[in-house]
Amino acid sequence: MSDELDIEAMLQRFRERAAAVRNRNLPPIGGDERKMFLEQAQNDFQDFAIIGDSEGTLEDGILTLKVDLRPND
């Protein structure tokens, strides 16, 4: 294993996870289970997308992810 973290590769994996969640097939469930599944999928997508869109730096062993949450104008 490399001693240095490949931040861009890590962020790319999060972007891929966000896309996978967005393209995930809905299992054959209904009612409350369906609602819970959809809510979890939305949360997963949001979390993965936020990290995937971040700018990462590694300084003195500290990984910092900078996320701009300001709305686009």
The model's pLDDT over 37-61, given as tens digits with 9 standing for 90+, comes to 999 999 999 999 999 999 999 999 8
- What string of H, E and C letters represents the secondary structure of the chain? CCCCCCHHHHHHHHHHHHHHHHCCCCCCCCHHHHHHHHHHHHHHHHHHHHHHCCEEEEECCEEEEECCCCCCC
pLDDT, the chain, mean: 91
The model's pLDDT over 11-38, given as tens digits with 9 standing for 90+, comes to 999 999 999 999 998 889 889 999 999 9
Q: What is the dihedral of CA 45, 51, 53, 59, to 10 degrees?
A: -170
pTM for the full model?
0.80
* Contacting residues for 17 by C-beta, under 8 A, at least 6 apart: 44, 48, 52
